[in-house]
């Protein structure tokens, strides 16, 4: 009951956050110079004054700011994120077209980073001065210090361009390939490798380091000594008693970092022409497609909030001590 | 090596002939083209939709030219040929042009193409397309019978047929778009598109690809030959080049970066042509604010021009692939006049002019500060040149500050709002000067807030009157003279410094037959293109 | 030797730790026996090596940096120092169990107490899930936890410290071990709870006849619980005697000090109580150990030159009473 | 406390021959811990070299990084240009040397903003608790749900990219972690005896916050500041990669961003600034790690 109650509170607060996100973003974006009429004129290779005025009128840009804001917020809460200036299509539709690609990239990277990182960290923690431990430290430093887009460019040039040519250079799948669903999945996986490797490098580094530190901490805990004193094998001690406690900070951070993962996705998608929300956001900035940009910011905030709530739930499932409120 | 082929003067007479009604049969290809195969085409741009009647820009026009047919088409020598129209006649006064439509030509949904559709298409284009001048002279289209469309002109229009020969004037179905909805936002510009051209729209995934299939009912004895055209949208410049090298794609039109052209010219299986862009005439220039700041003084503008080493830009920055521009009209055009002041690199002259203008060097050797904007696109033609200006103009005592714009609207807002000192820009000639050149120089086109109007705020009544005459003149020789005079005057007044013609190339797989090399390139139909041997 | 053979026998045990600047011998030359059914107290200040002794018996000395550098630990004659890891795991929790000092942190926070008790019996006795759970309830009842059927589903954080220590005891005794090591089992608990825990231990011992090693710094606890006592200082045994003998006749100055700290334990309570005594100084840090000489010498009021140079060997002063102190020689010589 | 031996315990200080029981100055102790860490020392040396390059480089290698010195895209080593030239023919070495200034300034300034906002929010929330904490932590959470890069992009877009706007944008989007950390520290320390003592003798809140608690909360905040510098440098590079930068200020991010389209022809023009960024962030994070170990009270008290 208490559990549901506090989840309910989280959801409610999430809604308030979303409202704040809407208002802030709308205000920010409307402060910027230039408007979509300029973009459309540019796309068209020039436009007359009357045309510019008619574009502004068509998109309601001639109305006072607060009116635009209220009508926007009102529509959003009815599930309508408006129409893209550029595509003249509903923003929600355009976002859903791209959402799966971004989620595929981001979640694959995140889970890869968490699982691989945790296991590297666990192995390293069992022998804190061993080779593997040093390797994890080194990996963490590399992953942390490399600019993610730079890593991407280097991988692209080294592994996808001739003469090595091991991976496709752009996109999510090859349209010219005909084949069944299985071939399609293989093709997508093939395209996914480089972007995921690039994006997960930072997080792999981060999680292996985090879980190494956390496991070292946990392995020194009294209850681990208790477990050993019971005669449990080292495997059970590490994977049953230590791991479940050791992953708690990993879970916390996985939720917190979701928004940063989106940031990384903008850069990685740009490098690999990945057809996701990141490229859409970047392009929308270039096109000053305000509704699109607002929609993406709103959506990413929504996803982060949902991810945080899920994190919260899984944290509660792992750690029975947490009963109420957020773990900070 | 890339060949530079200047358009021969023959083209000029041919154009004139074509414009005034001489009908010609399309040139038949050397070898009989083979049917079949898929062509993958790389593009950087994400199209908004595919209806070129209401949307300019190559992203829409290139697929649009495959999906929609036009009344006539142009070849690589500016000759006009029948397309959806079988033949046409022009009245002696040049005010009436009557087209006979090809029998059996159908839209993709099987409905016959009639003169009513032609009239609707023209009206739609006139109402919605930004290029008001292209069909501006057309007063109305009469439809005496379903197979005849008669264009009534307000004044003779020298470029009418040229304007009708590309995706600027697609024939769109009235029974689809005439439903009262705003055509610009019509849902069927993207979904369930009913075209009139050689290819059908199969699928569009934004930021990924456009798939077009052969239209089996395209009523033509000659093409289309390809089964499928896929436009792959790849945003990263290097990735586009690699896609061509890896044969993941076989055609790359609108290559504008010399580095890409240079790199791909090294691939054995790739051929590169500069054909297909003759009508576009993209001029890279440095625009000055002629009303405000130091550049209001013509001597300062001239000094800056002298201080810029055009050869360095062309040879070092563009790998020798762009051509010098000496005036408002691109050298490919029949109206080009090269006999004008060209401001060849001369630092002493530049310094003398600045001294004359009263701008003496200060203690740090600098005379004044100059802020240079640039379009946030085509870096080799914009950003790189703007950045080059910093060390180049430092030599004559001008401290250049490059102003970045994070996006196009920011730049457009500054320039169209006249809030700039100097800016790099690229402006297209669009075939005839009436369409693409006049707008930059007319006094009455100084329109605050409108980009690619006369944003330099240059005003010379003499230029206005010459352009007005040239716009109406139907005699080719007289027009050439008028434009020649115009080019001399603006070269002296120098509201902008024309630097170069942006290189535009198409790279294609060597086994591709009849690559798109007409004056309109890929913004004209590729129904003749075929695979001599499908690569795998 | 007319006594029955010991159940656990520690002989010449040495434990070393690698430190940043060298090796520290934290236990040296330690020997003692534990008889069946006996409660042996090990007493000393913090850092004297009591807990390390317990961990050594369990073979739980963290390795690296620690290691058992020498000696033997025999359980019914079987040398645990040389036993295989598999064998040691069979013994842990089964034949020798241990209760730790910190009930608050010694239970895994993410599993129910029932699971944690059941885990031991499932491991060592191969019980089914259901049987193990029944055993857990039975054990909870045995350690006097009310409503064990409900408690078995609870998590450690839902229990008080005393309850948790009861759970620890239940867990330790669930396989009916022959030896139970209780390392300061009540230090972290309230005084009233302490008494309850000791009562519980005493009751359980009477029922099961488990031999207990009770590690504490509190002579009072020793007096109440133990039959025999080993006094440790700085990793060494300084005195080893039956409890009554030690309380009445402590030989080592350190033992004397320890007893003096607890006034009511003094053999002849004087009318005017002497001021509470305090042993001056602190236990030397581990890196200073093993330098030769008696480690207690710096704090010893009666220290002689010899004390600072040579380590005194253990000598028997009475049956079952050993002391390591040069003063014994002096008194004998005198 | 358990009497179990703590293996990683450092030896008691043995420098003083006469065992004067005077406590060593904390910073000296920290330095000793730090200096024992070879990786951290390496980071310190590396950062010193980079900072030295930023300060002295232009004197030692007086070349205008904007001057066109040789043919564009000349490979490293051409005509004495060790790192080659970029797409305009500018000397990459000069660019790296001058660029270090802007990169370091943005890194330091953005980190400073991050830390100042973070500490301010965290300190007030952790000290005053109640509705102040509620409000401030809700604001923190608000900033945490927005993807920082997207928000920074919008901010830079809004105020046009300059060193100042970029630093502010980076600072504004990355302070949340510091705020949470500062809050946790303040929550912990405010309950300690000496703080209660200070409060009981009637010290003003501002005095307790800034003069009593903050110095004691400093160690983890210093470590977080070191990492903030690294993050800010990477952030600046990311924005530059997306062309959200000021072309009039030579920075490594600008070099990568503007050379990226040319990467197939001149890999060096992207690679070298990338390595420069990598080494700088590496140096800063090694130092951060070292500080973390040296300042960690748990480790030190052992």
pLDDT for residue B3:
32
Closest residue in A to D152 (Cα–Cα):
A263
Residue C275: pLDDT band (50, 70, 90) is: very low
Kindly report, residue by residue over C70-92, the tens digit of the pLDDT. Answer: 888 888 878 888 888 888 888 88
Q: What's the CATH superfamily of B282-501?
A: Dipeptide-binding Protein; Domain 3 (3.10.105.10)
C20–D10 CB contact, under 8 Å: yes
State the Cα–Cα distance between residues D302 and D293, nearest whole angstrom.
12
B408–A288 CB contact, under 8 Å: yes
State the Cα–Cα distance between residues C57 and B390, nearest whole angstrom.
79
Nearest by CB to B410, from A33, A44, A46: name it. A33
Judged by a CB distance cut-off of 8 A, whether residue C153 touches chain A is no
Per CB distance under 8 Å, which residues of A are interface residues toward D? Answer: 13, 17, 20-21, 25, 28-29, 31-32, 141, 144-150, 153-154, 157, 161, 256, 259-260, 262-264, 266-267, 270, 281-282, 285, 293, 296-297, 300-301, 304-305, 308, 328
Q: Which residues in chain C are closer than 8 Å to D12, comparing Cβ atoms? A: 285, 287
Residue entry with tokens 């050439």:
B480
Q: Which residues in chain B are closer than 8 Å to A42, comparing Cβ atoms? A: 408-409, 412, 451
C107 or B278: which leads in pLDDT: C107
Question: Å from C65 to nearest chain D CA?
Answer: 7
Judged by a CB distance cut-off of 8 A, whether residue D157 touches chain A is yes
- The token duo for A110 is 């995140």
What's the number of CA atoms in the CB half-sphere (13 Å) around residue B121?
Answer: 26
Q: Using an 8 Å Cβ cutoff, are A288 and B407 in contact?
A: yes
pLDDT for residue A40:
64
Q: Using an 8 Å Cβ cutoff, are B533 and B517 in contact?
A: no
Whether residue C242 is predicted with pLDDT greater than 80 in this model: the reply is yes
Q: φ, ψ for residue B342 (rounded to 5)?
A: -110, 0
D–A contact (≥3 CB pairs within 8 Å)?
A: yes
Series of mean pLDDT values for 10-residue runs along chain D (302 residues): 38 37 62 76 88 83 79 76 80 87 89 91 86 86 84 80 86 87 84 79 80 80 84 88 81 85 82 90 85 62 33
Size of interface A-B (CB pairs under 8 A): 165
- The token duo for D103 is 């990169």
- The token duo for B45 is 């741009």
pLDDT for residue A39:
63
Whether residue B47 is predicted with pLDDT greater than 80 in this model: the reply is yes
**CA triple B309-B313-B319, angle to 5 deg:** 140
Q: Which residues in chain C are closer than 8 Å to D9, comparing Cβ atoms? A: 19, 285-286
A145–D184 CB contact, under 8 Å: no
Residue B150: pLDDT band (50, 70, 90) is: very high
Q: Using an 8 Å Cβ cutoff, are B23 and B90 in contact?
A: no
Tell me which architecture the domain covering D33-300 has in CATH.
Answer: Orthogonal Bundle (1.10)
User: How would you write B441-501 as a 3-class SS string?
Assistant: HCHHHCCCCCCCCCCCCCCCHHHHHHHHHHHHCCCHHHHHHHHHHHHHHHHHHCCEEEEEE
B384–D87 CB contact, under 8 Å: yes
D3–C51 CB contact, under 8 Å: yes
C109–A319 CB contact, under 8 Å: yes
Instruction: Using DSSP, state whether B222 is helix, strand or coil.
Output: coil
Tell me which architecture the domain covering B4-23+33-237+505-531 has in CATH.
Answer: 3-Layer(aba) Sandwich (3.40)
Q: Using an 8 Å Cβ cutoff, are B506 and B516 in contact?
A: yes
Judged by a CB distance cut-off of 8 A, whether residue D2 touches chain C is yes
What average pLDDT does this structure show over B456-466?
90
Angle between helices D214-241 and D268-295 (to 10 degrees): 170
Question: A314-328, B50-64, B454-468, D147-161: which has the minimum mean pLDDT?
Answer: A314-328
**CA triple B281-B282-B287, angle to 5 deg:** 130
DSSP output for B500-516: EEPP-EEEEETTEES-S
Q: Which residues in chain A are closer than 8 Å to B230, comparing Cβ atoms? A: 175-176
What percent of chain A lies above the pLDDT cut of 90? Answer: 1
Judged by a CB distance cut-off of 8 A, whether residue A43 touches chain B is yes
State the Cα–Cα distance between residues B165 and B518, nearest whole angstrom.
11
Question: Å from D164 to nearest chain B CA?
Answer: 15
| Strand arrangement, sheet containing C321-323 | C96-99, C179-183, C211-216, C39-43, C228-233, C236-242, C321-323, C315-318
pLDDT for residue C190:
74
Q: What ipTM was predicted for this assembly?
A: 0.74
Q: Using an 8 Å Cβ cutoff, are A96 and A84 in contact?
A: no
The burial class, CB within 10 Å (0-12 / 13-18 / 19+), for C301 is: exposed
Instruction: Using DSSP, state whether B283 is helix, strand or coil.
Output: strand
Which residue, among C232, C173, C205, has the nearest Cα to C44 in the 3D structure? C232
Where along chain B do its domains lie? 4-23+33-237+505-531, 282-501
A–C contact (≥3 CB pairs within 8 Å)?
A: yes
Question: Å from D98 to nearest chain B CA?
Answer: 16
Question: Å from C181 to nearest chain D CA?
Answer: 15
pLDDT for residue D301:
35
Q: φ, ψ for residue B272 (rounded to 5)?
A: -130, 135
Q: Which residues in chain C are closer than 8 Å to D4, comparing Cβ atoms? A: 51-52, 55
Under DSSP, the state recorded for A90 is B
Residue entry with tokens 């700088």:
D280
**CA triple A241-A245-A249, angle to 5 deg:** 160
* Residue C37 CA to its chain's centroid (Å): 15
The burial class, CB within 10 Å (0-12 / 13-18 / 19+), for B416 is: buried
A266–D270 CB contact, under 8 Å: no
Q: What is the CATH number of domain A92-318?
A: 1.10.3720.10
pLDDT for residue D11:
37
C52–D5 CB contact, under 8 Å: yes
Among D4, D6, D10, the strongest candidate for a mutation testing the C interface, having the largest count of C CBs within 10 A, is D4
State the Cα–Cα distance between residues A277 and A262, nearest whole angstrom.
9
Where along chain A do its domains lie? 2-76, 92-318
CA distances in angstroms from C28 to B57, B332, B461, C228, D56, listed in the order given:
88, 99, 109, 21, 60
pLDDT for residue C273:
44
Question: Å from D66 to nearest chain B CA?
Answer: 6
Question: Å from B310 to nearest chain D CA?
Answer: 14
Question: Å from D2 to nearest chain C CA?
Answer: 7
Under DSSP, the state recorded for B313 is I
CA distances in angstroms from D93 to A153, B216, D13, D69, D284, listed in the order given:
21, 60, 47, 12, 22
Q: Which residues in chain D are closer than 8 Å to A305, comparing Cβ atoms? A: 145
What average pLDDT does this structure show over C94-121?
82
pLDDT for residue D239:
87
pLDDT for residue D14:
36
**CA triple D19-D20-D24, angle to 5 deg:** 105
Nearest by CB to D261, from B379, B390, B407: name it. B379
Q: Which residues of chain A register pLDDT less than 70?
A: 1-3, 32-36, 38-49, 322-328
A301 or C301: which leads in pLDDT: A301
pLDDT for residue C332:
62
Give the sign of the dihedral formed by CA B105, CA B107, CA B108, CA B110. negative
Judged by a CB distance cut-off of 8 A, whether residue D22 touches chain C is no
Which residue, among A85, A83, A87, has the nearest Cα to A75 in the 3D structure? A83
Residue entry with tokens 């990182």:
A117
Judged by a CB distance cut-off of 8 A, whether residue C157 touches chain A is yes
What average pLDDT does this structure show over C250-256?
80
User: How would you write chain C as a 3-class SS string?
Assistant: CCCCCCCEEEEEEEEEEEECCEEEEEEEEEEEEECCCCEEEEECCCCCCHHHHHHHHCCCCCCCCEEEEEEEEEECCEECCCCCHHHHHHHECCCEEEECCCCCCCCCCCCCHHHHHHHHHHHHHCCCHHHHHHHHHHHHHHCCCCCHHHHCCCCHHHCCHHHHHHHHHHHHHCCCCCEEEEECCCCCCCHHHHHHHHHHHHHHHHHHCCEEEEEECCHHHHHHHCCEEEEEECCEEEEEEEHHHHHHCCCCHHHHHHHHHCHHHCCCCCCCCCCCCCCCCCCCCHHHCCCCCCCCHHHCCCCCHHHHHCCCCCEEEECCEEECCHHHHHHHHC
Where along chain D do its domains lie? 33-300
DSSP output for D198-226: HHHTT--HHHIIIIIIHHHHHHHHHHHHH
Question: Å from B6 to nearest chain D CA?
Answer: 28
Which residue, among A319, A311, A313, A243, has the nearest Cα to C109 in the 3D structure? A319
What average pLDDT does this structure show over B68-88?
88
- pTM metric for this prediction: 0.77
Nearest by CB to B450, from A41, A89, A175: name it. A41
């Amino acid at each position: 009951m208490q559990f549901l109650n506090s989840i309910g509170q989280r959801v409610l607060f999430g809604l308030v956050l979303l409202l704040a996100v809407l208002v802030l973003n709308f205000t920010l974006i409307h402060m910027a110079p230039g408007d979509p009429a300029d973009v459309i004129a540019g796309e068209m290779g020039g436009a007359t004054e009357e045309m510019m005025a008619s574009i502004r009128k068509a998109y309601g840009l001639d109305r006072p700011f607060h009116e635009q804001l209220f009508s926007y917020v009102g529509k959003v809460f009815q599930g309508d994120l408006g129409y893209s200036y550029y595509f003249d299509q509903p923003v929600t539709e355009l976002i859903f077209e791209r959402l799966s690609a971004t989620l595929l990239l981001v979640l694959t990277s995140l889970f890869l980073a968490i699982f691989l990182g945790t296991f590297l960290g666990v192995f390293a923690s069992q022998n804190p001065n061993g080779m593997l431990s040093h390797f994890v430290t080194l990996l963490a430093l590399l992953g942390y210090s490399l600019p993610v887009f730079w890593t991407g460019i280097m991988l692209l040039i080294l592994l996808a361009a001739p003469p090595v040519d091991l991976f496709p250079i752009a996109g999510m799948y090859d349209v010219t390939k005909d084949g069944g669903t299985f071939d399609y999945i293989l093709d997508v996986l093939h395209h996914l490798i480089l972007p995921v490797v690039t994006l997960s490098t930072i997080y792999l580094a981060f999680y292996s380091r985090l879980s190494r530190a956390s496991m070292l901490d946990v392995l020194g805990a009294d209850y681990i000594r208790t477990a050993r004193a019971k005669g449990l094998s080292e495997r059970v001690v590490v994977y049953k008693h230590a791991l479940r406690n050791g992953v708690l900070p990993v879970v916390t951070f996985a939720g917190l970092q979701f928004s940063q993962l989106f940031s990384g996705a903008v850069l990685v998608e740009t490098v690999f022409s990945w057809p996701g929300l990141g490229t859409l956001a970047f392009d929308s900035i270039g096109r000053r497609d305000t509704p699109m940009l607002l929609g993406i910011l709103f959506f990413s905030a929504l996803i982060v909030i949902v991810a945080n709530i899920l994190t919260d739930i899984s944290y509660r499932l792992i750690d029975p001590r947490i009963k109420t409120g957020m773990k900070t | 090596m890339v060949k530079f082929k200047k358009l021969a003067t023959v083209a000029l007479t041919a154009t004139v002939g074509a414009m005034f009604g001489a009908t010609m049969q399309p040139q038949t290809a050397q070898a009989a083209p083979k049917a079949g195969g898929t062509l993958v085409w790389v593009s950087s741009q994400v199209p908004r939709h595919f209806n070129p009647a209401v949307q300019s820009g190559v992203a829409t026009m290139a697929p649009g030219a495959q999906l929609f047919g036009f009344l006539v088409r142009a070849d690589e020598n500016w000759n006009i040929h029948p397309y959806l129209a079988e033949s046409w006649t022009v009245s002696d006064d040049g005010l009436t042009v009557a087209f006979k439509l090809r029998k059996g030509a159908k839209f993709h949904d099987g409905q016959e193409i009639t003169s009513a559709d032609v009239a609707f298409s023209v009206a739609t284009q006139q109402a919605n397309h930004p290029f008001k001048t292209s069909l501006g002279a057309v007063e109305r289209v009469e439809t005496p019978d379903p197979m005849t469309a008669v264009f009534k002109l307000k004044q003779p229009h020298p470029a009418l047929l040229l304007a009708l020969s590309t995706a600027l004037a697609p024939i769109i179905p009235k029974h689809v778009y005439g439903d009262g909805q705003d055509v610009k936002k019509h849902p069927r510009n993207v979904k369930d598109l009913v075209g009139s051209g050689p290819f059908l729209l199969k699928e569009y995934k934004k930021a990924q690809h456009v798939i077009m299939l052969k239209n089996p009912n395209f009523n033509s004895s000659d093409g289309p030959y390809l089964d499928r055209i896929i436009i792959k949208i790849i945003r990263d410049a290097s990735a586009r080049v690699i896609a061509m090298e890896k044969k993941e794609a076989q055609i790359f039109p609108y290559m504008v970066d010399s580095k890409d052209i240079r790199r791909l010219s090294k691939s054995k299986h790739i051929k590169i042509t500069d054909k297909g862009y003759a009508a576009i005439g993209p001029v890279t220039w440095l625009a000055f604010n002629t009303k405000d700041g130091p550049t209001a003084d013509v001597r300062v503008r001239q000094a800056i021009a002298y201080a810029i080493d055009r050869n360095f830009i062309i040879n070092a920055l563009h790998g020798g692939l762009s051509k010098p521009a000496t005036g408002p009209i691109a050298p490919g055009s029949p109206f080009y006049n090269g006999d004008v002041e060209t401001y060849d690199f001369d630092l002493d002259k530049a310094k003398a002019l600045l001294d004359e203008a009263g701008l003496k060097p200060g203690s740090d050797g600098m005379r004044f500060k100059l802020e240079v904007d640039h379009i946030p696109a085509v870096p080799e033609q914009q950003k790189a040149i703007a950045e080059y200006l910093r060390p180049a103009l430092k030599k004559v005592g001008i401290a250049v500050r490059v102003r970045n714009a994070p996006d196009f609207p920011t730049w457009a807002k500054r320039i169209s709002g006249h809030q700039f000192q100097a800016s790099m820009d690229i402006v297209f000639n669009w075939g005839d000067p009436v369409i693409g050149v006049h707008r930059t120089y007319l006094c009455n086109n100084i329109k605050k807030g409108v980009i690619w109007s006369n944003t330099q705020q240059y005003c010379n009544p003499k230029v206005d009157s010459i352009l007005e005459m040239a716009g109406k003149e139907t005699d080719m020789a007289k027009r050439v003279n008028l434009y020649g005079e115009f080019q001399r005057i603006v070269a002296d007044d120098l509201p902008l410094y024309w630097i170069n013609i942006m290189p535009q190339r198409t790279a294609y797989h060597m086994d591709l037959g009849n690559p798109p090399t007409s004056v309109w390139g890929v913004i004209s139909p590729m129904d003749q293109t075929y695979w001599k041997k499908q690569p795998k | 030797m007319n006594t029955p053979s010991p159940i656990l026998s520690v002989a010449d045990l040495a434990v070393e730790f690698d430190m940043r600047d060298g090796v520290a011998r934290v236990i040296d030359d330690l020997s003692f026996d534990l008889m069946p059914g006996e409660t042996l107290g090990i007493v000393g200040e913090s850092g004297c090596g009591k807990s390390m002794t317990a961990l050594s018996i369990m073979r739980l000395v963290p390795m690296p940096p620690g290691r058992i550098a020498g000696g033997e630990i025999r359980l019914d004659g079987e040398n645990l120092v040389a036993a295989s890891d598999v064998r040691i795991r069979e013994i842990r929790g089964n034949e020798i169990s241990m209760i730790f000092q910190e009930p608050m942190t010694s239970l895994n926070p993410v599993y129910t107490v029932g699971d944690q008790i059941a885990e031991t019996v499932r491991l060592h006795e191969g019980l089914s899930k259901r049987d193990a759970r029944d055993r857990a309830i039975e054990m909870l009842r045995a350690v006097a936890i009310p409503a064990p059927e409900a408690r078995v589903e609870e998590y450690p954080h839902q229990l008080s410290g005393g309850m948790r220590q009861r759970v620890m005891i239940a867990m330790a005794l669930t396989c009916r071990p022959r030896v139970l090591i209780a390392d300061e089992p009540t230090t972290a608990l309230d005084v009233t709870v302490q008494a309850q825990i000791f009562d519980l231990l005493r009751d359980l011992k009477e029922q099961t006849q488990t031999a207990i090693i009770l590690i504490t710094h509190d002579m009072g606890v020793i007096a109440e619980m133990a039959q025999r006592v080993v006094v440790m200082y700085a990793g060494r045994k300084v005195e080893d005697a039956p409890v009554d003998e030690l309380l009445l006749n402590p030989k080592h100055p350190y033992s004397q000090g320890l007893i003096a700290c607890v006034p009511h334990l003094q053999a002849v309570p004087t009318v005017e109580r002497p001021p509470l005594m305090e042993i001056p100084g602190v236990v030397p840090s581990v890196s200073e150990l093993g330098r030769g000489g008696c480690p207690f010498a710096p704090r010893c009021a009666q220290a002689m030159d010899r004390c600072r140079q040579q380590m005194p060997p253990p000598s028997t002063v009475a049956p079952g009473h050993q002391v390591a102190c040069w003063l014994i020689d002096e008194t004998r010589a005198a | 406390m358990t009497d179990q031996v703590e293996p990683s315990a450092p030896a008691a200080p043995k420098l003083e021959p006469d065992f004067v029981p005077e406590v060593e100055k904390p910073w000296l102790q920290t330095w000793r811990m730090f200096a024992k860490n070879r990786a951290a020392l390496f980071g310190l040396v590396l950062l010193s070299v980079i900072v030295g390059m930023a300060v002295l480089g232009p004197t030692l290698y007086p070349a205008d990084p904007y001057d066109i010195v040789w043919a564009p895209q000349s490979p490293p080593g051409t005509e004495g240009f060790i790192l080659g030239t970029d797409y305009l023919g500018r000397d990459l070495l000069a660019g790296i040397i001058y660029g270090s200034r802007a990169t370091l300034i943005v890194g330091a300034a953005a980190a400073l903003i991050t830390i100042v906002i973070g500490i301010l929010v965290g300190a007030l929330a952790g000290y005053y608790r109640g509705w102040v904490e509620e409000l401030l932590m809700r604001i923190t959470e608000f900033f945490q749900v927005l993807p920082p890069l997207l928000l920074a992009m919008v901010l830079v877009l809004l105020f046009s990219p300059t060193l100042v706007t970029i630093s502010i944008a980076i600072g504004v989007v990355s302070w949340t972690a510091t705020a949470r950390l500062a809050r946790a520290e303040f929550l912990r320390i405010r309950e300690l005896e000496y703080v209660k003592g200070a409060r009981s003798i009637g010290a003003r809140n501002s005095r307790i916050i800034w003069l009593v608690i903050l110095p004691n909360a400093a160690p983890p905040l210093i470590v977080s500041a070191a990492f903030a510098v690294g993050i800010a440098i990477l952030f600046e590079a990311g924005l530059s990669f997306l062309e959200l930068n000021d072309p009039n200020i030579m920075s490594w991010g600008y070099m990568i961003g503007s050379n990226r389209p040319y990467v197939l022809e001149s890999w060096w023009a992207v690679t070298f600034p990338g390595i420069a960024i990598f080494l700088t962030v590496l140096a800063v994070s090694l130092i951060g790690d070292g500080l973390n170990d040296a300042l960690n009270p748990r480790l030190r008290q052992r």
